[in-house]
Each structure stands twice: as structure tokens, then as C-alpha cells.
Structure 1
Amino acid sequence: MNDQLTEYRIKKAPYYRATGDETELYEAAYSVRMPMMLKGPTGCGKTRFVEYMAYKLGKPLITVACNEDMTASDLVGRFLLDPQGTRWQDGPLTLAARLGAICYLDEVVEARQDTTVVIHPLTDNRRVLPLEKKGELVQAHPDFQLVISYNPGYQSLMKDLKQSTKQRFGALDFNYPDHEIEAEIVSHETGVNKEVADKLVSIAERARNLKGHGLDEGISTRMLVYAGSLINKGVEAKAACRVTLVRPITDDPDMRDALDAAVTTYF
């Protein structure tokens, strides 16, 4: 085992409830090292899925939370000054490519397009990463795979992937699970009983119907887990829902009233 990758190995199996054939499709994609794109709304389980698959495949996982200030150097590496002079430090993408990890770029469209183009040579038959500042061409390790995620419903035309990037990936669509499966996930993750989990999912389903009609995003599975966790700690259900499901997603008084009414309906 490479010592540099030890910290990136997932020690405990993450809980993931499959909703279709996504695990089998991902395993097949990994077997040919196909770069993969995970598309779906925020908080629906994309990151958990990658963690689960990395654990299942026994591969280290290096995750990068992309943002608009991220530069290509943040991904590939840079020269640093130390008492001995200058030294090169690999970025997370280079480390994964060099040593054979799965590299997961979360919400990749948040990064500038001039940053994301550095992944192109890694996502075709070349599987190389040029380190121009260092004058090195890194040949990707046989175990290396690149995975990216983003929320297509949340992107403007200015913040979308170029076709030249998209067409280098296979893609899996994610969405919020069906009611019964989502309730099972909430119950498992929080310890609340099935009845409470059912009510939380019902509130979320109402909110998701308001997306595009006053809400930018619906209530995610992640938020339901937050609510269930507070309820399981003894917080009164309506208060827990206000804190975790209503207040974070809208400041509009009318929308808050509508969501509070949904909470009151079930609790």
C-alpha cells in the first residue's frame, strides 16, 4: 500500500442504498477506467455513492470541492519555497494520477473553464497529465480514474461544461430516491422510526414540487438527515424542521409560510 494514499482510503463501508443499476454500471466503467460524470440535484447522494464505490473497489479516493477561485495549479500542483529553496508539491489531481487513486471533482462547473481544461489529456486515450511548470508528463497510473459531479438544474449558460469536456465522460443520472427508499435512508442515517422518516420525506416531496415556483432548490435527502438527527436528539419535530428544512432554503416570507404549513400538516 502506498503510504501517501493511506489517508485517502475509506476505512468503513459507507451506507449507500442503490436505487437502480448504478453500482453495476459504475463497476463496469471502472473496469475500463472510463471517466465518469454524476449528474443530479444537491444532496441526493452523489458524493456518498462515490465513497461507497471507492470502498467497494478497494481504491483510495481523493476528493476536491471545486470553486470559482480554484486555479489549475490548485489541481495539478505548484512550486513552494522552503528553507532549502524551492520544491514541487503535487496537487490532488496529480497525486491521484501518479499513485493510482480515484479523483473526484465535486461540483466541477464551479471551477473556471480554463481550470477544467487541464483534465482533458487525462480523459482520453492518452491518460497523461502535463505539468508545464515542472516540465514533466505524468502517465496516469493503471488504477487512476477521474469522476466529476454537478447539478445540471442549477447551472446558468455561463456555468456549464463545454461539449468538449462532457463528451469525454460516461454519465450517471441521480435524483432523490422514491418515497420508501428515501424514508429507509433517513431512518438508517438518523435512528428515527419509520413513521417520522415518512413524514420528513412527505414534507420534502411537497417542497420539491415548489422548485421553479418560488424555490431554487427543493429539500434534499441530506437536509432530511439533518432534521432526523435533531429529532432523534430530542428536539421538537416542528422546531427541527424549521431549522433544517425551511430556514436554510428560503428567505421569502410567503414561501416560508408555505413550507411551515407543510411541516405543521405532518407534525
Structure 2
Amino acid sequence: MNTDYYSTGNDIELFDKAFQRRIPVMLTGPTGCGKTRFVEYMGQRLGRPVVTISCHDDLTSADLVGRFLVTAGDVVWNDGPLTTAVKEGAICYLDEVVEARHDSLAVLHSLTDHRRSLYLDRAGEVVPAPENFMLVCSYNPAYRSSLKELKPSFRQRFMTLTMDYLDPDREAAVVVAETGVAREVARRLVDCARTIREADEVFHYEPPSTRVLVTTAHLIAAGATEWDAAQACLLAPLSSNGAIGEGLREIAAAALAAAENPAAQPV
């Protein structure tokens, strides 16, 4: 299955050059702006498999590199996803790396400098990374938590590509391609989302992503009204605060009504 991707600049060209020169890449940008889709697309473009690791608080270094397990009465080493990616010369993608513990990320250091090797201390093995191995991480720098921040020394090990939402026409084109809704419907949803994103600094919430717009459009394609779909998929997930939710409803209603959509008025 081919993955479509709409470039927002020179990201494809820079990623290509980073792959050629074996430079690790850090992708930054708001949630749902296409970071994971971009990595999948580049994997297809470069002919490399992508091994995705979803980072979280409980992720340990052993979860990444592997561990000894008892199998049929024998103690056997089992590679973790990072080790597998290195050995296969894959693109190893650590999604939302900021969620991982700092001590767990220390195993990446030897892969992100001149050594380009993975040290399996418990197994007593050193795995050199082949030329076609690439390490890619992503995170959302606007994530509002003072407790979760990447160390500058870690960030400087990577080339950083800053990503953002597509321009309105291209974002609408993505919604149409993914769901099959009419272009005018997609554009109304995009205009609504952009209005809410602009209010982000006032309300302090995670703004609606392109992914959210695709979900909303899927519901519309299934027969829901635009307003019902927008409430369920675009507005409700943004905030559980009643006052903020009401404010978002007013913003969304005004944005959809401005597009002269008769289904946009709240009940």
C-alpha cells in the first residue's frame, strides 16, 4: 500500500540528504500534522522498512534493545525493536520520543555519533549500524508539560525538520483524498480548524489536527451532518472544560456559518 504525502517545503530533499550522509533526524511539529505519514512515505521512497516504536513513560532500555528470556528451558536473547531495526538496516522511528525516560534514551547515544553502533551490554555484543540504517525521532515541542523536555545535548545529536499543518488548499485536498467527501465540505472543515487553531493561545488546548479533520470527514461521509460530526470529532476531544467547550462551540459555529453551510448551526 503506497503512502501519499504532501510536502510543506524542502523536507523530502533534506531527509534524502540526511539518509545519504547517515545523519539522524528529529521531526518536530504539532500533533497530527503528518510526521508519522512523512516517515512512512520516506521509507517507501528510500526502499527501507520502517520500525516504529511508540514511546511512553514505562519504556526501558531493555524494551528497546532486547532481553534474555527463558524459552523451552533455555535462556535465550531476544532482540528488541531497536536492535532489529539496526540489524535489518531499517528506518527506526521513535514516535513522541519526549515521552520516554531520559535513562532509556541513553542507548541511542552510540547510534547518533561517529560510532554508529548499538552496544548490547547484557548480551556482550556490539552491533554496527549498516549504511542504510537511519534513526528518526519525533515530538511535539508545544506539548504543555514542564516535566517532559528533551535535553539540548540529546536534540543536538539530530538534524531537525520543523513541520506544520499544510496550507488550506492542500489540507483540504488531503481530507478529500482520505475520505471522499466533497471539496467544499473539506474546505469548510479546514477553515473551521484554522479558526480554532488561531484561538489556541487564548484557550490553551491542543489544536485540532489534520488527523482530526479526516476523522470528522469520515463521519460526514457516513451520513452525519457537518455540525454533528464537528462536535463529536473536532470539538469534544479538545477540552473537558465546560466553559472552554462552549467557547469552542461558538467559534466553530461561526466559522462553519461563515461558509454558508446550513447544517452548521448548533441545535
- Is TM (by shorter chain) over 0.5? yes
Match of 1:171 among 157, 160, 173: 160
CA shift digits 1:161-194 (9 cap, x unpaired): 1122111100100111111111111111111111
Give CA-to-partner distance per residue, 1:83-106, whole Å, 9 cap, x none. Answer: 131111100111111121000000
Alpha-carbon distance between aligned partners in 2 of 1:51 and 1:144, rounded to the nearest angstrom? 15
Cross-structure match for 1:18: 7
Distance (whole Å) between structure 2 residues aligned to residue 15 and residue 236 of structure 1: 28
SS at match of 1:74: helix
How do 1:113-132 and structure 2 match up within 5 A?
A: 113-132=102-121
Q: Which moved more, 1:211-220 or 1:125-134?
A: 211-220
Q: Any idea what the Cα deviations from partners look like across 1:176-228, whole Å, max 9, x if unmatched? A: 11111111111111111111111101111111112232232111110000000
Following superposition of structure 1 onto structure 2, how do residues 151-170 of structure 1 map, counting pairs within 5 Å?
151-170=140-159
Is 1:234 paired with 2:220? no
Partner residue of 2:136 out of 136, 147, 159 = 147
Distance in 2, matches of 1:91 and 1:21, equals: 33
SS of residue in 1 equivalent to 2:138: strand
- C-alpha displacement at 1:254, in angstroms? 2.1
Corresponding position of 1:243? 232
Counterpart position of 1:35: 24
Q: Between the two proteins, what is the percent identity of the paired residues?
A: 46
Structure-1-length-normalised TM-score: 0.93
1:263 aligns to 2:252 (yes or no): yes
Q: Structure 1: how far apart are the matches of 2:169 and 2:152?
A: 36
CA contact (8 A) 1:65 1:105 kept: yes
How many residues get paired?
Answer: 256
Within a 5 Å distance, the mapping from 1:188-203 to structure 2 comes to 188-203=177-192
Deviation string 1:21-48 (CA, Å, 9 cap, x unpaired) is: 1111111111111100000010000000
Unpaired stretches in structure 1, ≥5 consecutive residues: 1-11
Question: Match of 2:57, SS?
Answer: coil
1:70 to partner: Cα distance: 0.4
TM-score by length of 2: 0.93
DSSP 3-state at the match of 2:202: coil
The verdict on how the C-alpha distance between 1:157 and 1:258 changes in structure 2, with shifts beyond 3 A counting, is closer
Instruction: Give the superposition deviation at 1:155.
Output: 4.9
Offset, 1:19: 1.6
Whole-angstrom CA distance in 2 between matches of 1:150 and 1:125: 24
Contact kept in structure 2, 1:215 and 1:250, CA below 8 Å = no
Runs of 5+ unmatched residues, structure 2: 257-263
Match among 76, 91, 94 for residue 65 of structure 2: 76
Which moved further from structure 2: 121-130 or 154-163? 154-163
State the partner residue of 1:112: 101
Query: Does the 8 Å CA contact 2:8/2:163 hold for their aligned counterparts?
Result: no
Distance 1:32 1:182 in 2: 31
